[in-house]
Chain A
Amino acid sequence: MAGKVPALVAYIISFTARGKPGWCLSDCNANNATCSPASDLCTKGADYLRQNFTSDVLPRYQTFAQGFAAACGTTRPIIWEMEPDFYQYYAAAQGGGTRGQPGGPLSVAEAVNYMTQMVATVKQYLPNAVFSMDISPWMPSNGCTWYPNFNMSDFTFIHTSGGNTSAATAAIRTANTMTWAGVHAVTGKPILADTGYGNPPGPDANWDSPTNINARIADGVVSIMQYSPTASTWATAISQNRPQLNAVSCY
């Protein structure tokens, strides 16, 4: 690991909500058999976050940050990709509150507050961390009413997650209107394209195409992540592709 830059996806709200007794919240598209279909992050995620942020979510960030600091030190860079699908707690059809609490989706101010606190908690233990903000591709207007609310100077990158991102089209997902270039223009941030894990998992051959990668480099992508690439061909794919790739802009 010497010299390498670890990058991790902090999907902490979702995973703490999934395992919390009495909540059992699945991903919105996962149809978790152990949970009621209505009990997913799109319907009760905001309520869960309000009631468990201080007791569950923030301490988990603290634990992980302390763990990485102990294992890797606090001088080497580490990339934290914050909370995939974070937009769902604001925009989805979040239901009423439980346990005597008012419900509804997060306000923008709440969403900004929680994100800022999570980043600050990691920074407290890992001053060397570099942060990336979630791209939820179903945001309208390339996120132009979402990102400017956040303290974007906390973030060096923005990132996709969950797979199904399109290498061959201007749109991040063909079912959504957001484009790679559009969200890059709105934020001014370089994009880490997470292309593989999720549903369905596995490497996406479209992201091995130099033509596709160069098109996305022009759109602001500076990195791709393939999930479980084929071990016997991956090194060859990289060495063959690299000389064919255009220079990445500096931002």
Chain B
Amino acid sequence: MAACHSNARVEPLLAFTERTVDLKVAFGETGSQDAALTGRLATEARLEVESIDPPGIEVAVLPGSQGQPQGLRLTLHAVQVGRVAGQVVVTTGLEKPRELTLLYSWEVLGNITVDPTNPFIDLYGPGEGAVVLTVSSRRADFRLDAAEVIEGPFEATLSRDAPAPGYVVRVRAVPSHIPPGERGSLGRLRLISNDPAEPRKEVPLFALGGS
């Protein structure tokens, strides 16, 4: 009995060389990344940007030259700390595929680290429902001036963590501020500091349980 093995390589009609464009940019700086077209129809496509969702980045069509296909250049001006993901949709000028979608993300790293990032307080247990946050920074001159609850039935107290180069924020749920029968409470903590990227950093709070 003879066996026949074959391998096939499937070439797409039209696609971007990168499935995602991921921009990582330091706060205050500008970064760009390109994605070129590939596939059998790559040199025939004429791209136009149809939508950028969510907005916040710049997208430019790179002209093709000398038989090379067009591409896209994504640019981010890093004015806000955070992570965002979205997609750019372009029309191709072709019958099929009429559109292409390129996934993108951007990340602007901040200096401040809050641990835990999403404080959770259990209200069923005995004793006082409280959680301790540590706040630190990559910057040697970091100074945390205040930690204040701006929303929800919580209280916060700030102290300096003497053994470590950081601060301690103790957040507790205030049972008397929780309406009777309410089983979940949301809140927000604001950290006020001299950090240039996040001088007013907000942290979500969540408490669950209670009578």
B10 contacts chain A at the CB level, 8 A cutoff: yes
| Stretch of B15-23, B62-70, B156-164, B191-199 lying at the A interface | B15-23
Q: Does B142 contact A (CB under 8 A)?
A: no
Inter-chain CA distance A107–B20, complex, in Å, is 9
Q: Is the CB of B105 within 8 A of A113?
A: yes
Interface string of A179-216 (1 = CB under 8 A from B): 00000000011100000000000000000000000000
Stretch at the interface among A81-89, A95-103, A135-143, A160-168: A95-103
Chain A residues with CB under 8 A of B124: 242, 248
Convert B73-99 into 0s and 1s, putting 1 for each residue whose CB lies closer than 8 angstroms to a CB of A. Answer: 000000000011111010000000100
Tell me if A231 is interfacial: C-beta within 8 Å of chain B: no
Count chain A residues whose beta carbon lies closer than 8 angstroms to a beta carbon of B: 43
A133 to nearest B CB, angstroms?
A: 11
Q: Does A109 contact B (CB under 8 A)?
A: yes
Q: Is the CB of B120 within 8 A of A157?
A: yes
Knowing A109-B19, A250-B130 touch, does A3 contact B85 (C-beta < 8 A)?
Answer: no
Q: Size of chain B's interface in residues, with CB distance under 8 A?
A: 44
B118 contacts A54, CB within 8 Å?
no
**Is A77 part of the binding interface, using a Cβ–Cβ cutoff of 8 Å?**
yes
Task: Produce 1/0 per residue, B85-124, CB < 8 A to A.
Answer: 1110100000001000101110000000001111111101
Given A54-B87, A76-B184, A110-B103, is A130 in contact with B117 using a C-beta cutoff of 8 Å? no
Are the C-beta atoms of A5 and B208 separated by less than 8 Å? Answer: yes
| A222 engages B186 (CB within 8 Å) | no
Output the least CB separation between A1 and chain B (Å).
10
Are A247 and B125 in contact, with the CB atoms below 8 A? Answer: yes
**Do A251 and B10 touch (CB < 8 A)?**
no
Majority SS at the chain A contact face: loop
B119 touches A251 (CB 8 A): yes
Which stretch, A13-21, A22-30, A33-41, A147-155, touches the partner chain B?
A147-155
Of all chain B residues, the one with the shortest Cβ separation from A155 is B118
Task: Tell me if A153 and B184 are in contact (CB < 8 A).
Answer: no
A2 near B: Cβ within 8 Å?
yes
Contact at B12–A100, with CB atoms within 8 Å? Answer: yes
The docked-state distance in angstroms from the alpha carbon of A157 to that of B119 is: 10
- Residues facing B in A232-247 (CB within 8 A) are 242, 246-247
Q: Digit string of B135-164 for contact with A (CB within 8 Å is 1, else 0)?
A: 000000000000000000000000000000
Cβ contacts under 8 Å, B104 to chain A: 113
CB neighbours (8 Å) of B129 from chain A are: 250
A116 interface residue (CB < 8 Å to B): yes
Q: Is the CB of A102 within 8 A of B12?
A: yes
Question: CB within 8 A of A116: which of B15, B85, B127?
Answer: B85
Question: Which 8 residue pairs of A and B lie closest in terms of their CB atoms, listed nearest first?
Answer: A247-B125, A116-B85, A5-B184, A250-B131, A153-B117, A3-B181, A77-B184, A248-B122
- Can you list 11 pairs linking A and B with CB atoms under 8 Å apart? A3-B181, A5-B183, A77-B186, A102-B15, A155-B118, A188-B115, A188-B116, A222-B122, A247-B126, A250-B129, A251-B119
